[in-house]
């Protein structure tokens, strides 16, 4: 059997205290009382907002989900606290959804009214207030969407900056290592080039102390000696210069 609340009982709730007897009777015919045991979720965020809930007894908890975590916004046992489809008076093209979740902390009793009846009562009984509330609600929702979008863009910019920094570190290290490798490869190519011009002695790599194996007196292409100069330090002048050095070495 459905339990209902009379007009006099509804008048005791602050939400309906100023309504006329006729209006209270209209609501009493359409509303009903329901009980929920402790720990039960009365409704969940995102579900279609189909009913208005007015607390009669017990303690309730209202929460929203943010970042994968459930955040409790309000916990109260105040008689007459309302939640659910209280925006049903909005002239929205689609049915609104619950903005948060309602849970019974202890055993709770609610007076419940269908959202369609509540929206109709507000629009017909308080037309001027409805227009004001619609403008306020629309502006508030638009502001909330703008702020939410802005916060997402700021968060995205922060993540992008951090990611760019992390990518630049290995890229810089790779560029530095490439430059060093290029320099060392260039040095390695200098020695075969020197061998091809006869500037280095073939065989095992000499140590820095014994690298030079040529006489200190180096003949010039004309036959004159140049004492004190290593022939490796002289740049090749023409092909016959190497032959002259070789002949001079043999004769010595």
Q: What is the pLDDT of residues 34-48, one digit of tens each?
A: 999 999 999 999 899
What region, left, alpha or beta, does residue 39 occupy, with left being phi > 0 and alpha being psi -120 to 50 degrees?
Answer: left
- What is the spatial order of strands in the sheet that 82-84 belongs to? 32-36, 108-114, 51-57, 82-84
Q: Determine the pLDDT at residue 176.
A: 76
> 61 near 74, Cβ under 8 Å?
yes
Q: Of 93, 97, 127, 131, whose CA–CA distance to 115 is shortest?
A: 97
Please say if the pLDDT value at position 239 is more than 50: no
Instruction: With cut-offs at 50, 70 and 90, classify the pLDDT of residue 165.
Output: low
Give the DSSP per-residue string, 29-92. HH-EEEEE-TT-EEE-TTSB--EEEEEEES-EEEEEEETTEEEEEEEE--TT-EEESTTTTS--
CA 221/CA 189 separation, integer angstroms: 28
Instruction: With cut-offs at 50, 70 and 90, classify the pLDDT of residue 189.
Output: confident
pLDDT digits (tens, 9 = 90+) for 55-74: 999 999 999 988 778 889 99
Q: What is the mean pLDDT of the chain?
A: 77
Please say if the pLDDT value at position 214 is more than 70: no
Q: Give the least confident one: 29-33, 40-44, 127-131.
A: 127-131
Domain boundaries, the chain: 7-144, 216-252
Please say if the pLDDT value at position 161 is more than 90: no
- Position with higher pLDDT, 58 vs 155: 58
Please say if the pLDDT value at position 120 is more than 80: yes
Across the range 107-132, mean pLDDT stands at 91
Q: Of 58, 110, 56, 59, whose CA–CA distance to 85 is shortest?
A: 110
Q: Exposed, middle or buried: residue 9 (CB in 10 Å: 0-12, 13-18, 19+)? A: middle
The structural architecture, per CATH, of the domain 7-144 is: Sandwich (2.60)
Across the range 7-12, mean pLDDT stands at 93
- Position with higher pLDDT, 239 vs 32: 32
| Torsions phi, psi for 185 (to 5 deg) | -65, -40
- Position with higher pLDDT, 238 vs 162: 162
Q: Determine the pLDDT at residue 8.
A: 92
């Amino acid at each position: 059997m459905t339990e209902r609340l009379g007009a006099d009982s509804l008048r005791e709730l602050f939400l309906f205290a100023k309504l006329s007897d006729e209006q209270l009777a209209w609501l009493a015919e359409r509303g009903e009382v329901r009980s929920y045991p402790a720990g039960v979720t009365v409704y969940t965020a995102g579900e279609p907002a189909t009913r208005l809930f007015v607390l009669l007894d017990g303690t309730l908890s209202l929460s929203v989900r943010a970042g994968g975590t459930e955040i409790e916004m309000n916990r109260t046992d105040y008689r007459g606290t309302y939640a659910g489809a209280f925006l049903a008076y909005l002239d929205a093209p689609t049915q609104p959804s619950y903005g948060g979740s309602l849970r019974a902390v202890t055993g709770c009793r609610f007076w419940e009214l269908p959202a369609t009846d509540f929206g109709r009562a507000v629009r017909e009984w308080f037309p001027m207030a409805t227009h004001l509330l619609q403008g306020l609600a629309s502006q508030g929702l638009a502001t909330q969407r703008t702020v939410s979008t802005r916060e997402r863009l700021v968060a995205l910019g922060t993540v992008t900056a951090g990611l760019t920094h992390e990518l630049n570190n290995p890229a810089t290290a790779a560029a530095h290592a490439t430059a060093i490798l290029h320099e060392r490869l260039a040095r390695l190519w200098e020695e075969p080039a020197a061998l091809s011009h006869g500037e280095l002695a073939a065989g095992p790599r000499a140590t820095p102390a014994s690298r030079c194996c040529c006489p200190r007196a180096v003949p010039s292409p004309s036959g004159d000696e140049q004492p004190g100069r290593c022939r490796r330090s002289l740049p090749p002048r023409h092909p016959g210069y190497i032959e002259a050095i070789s002949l001079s070495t043999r004769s010595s």
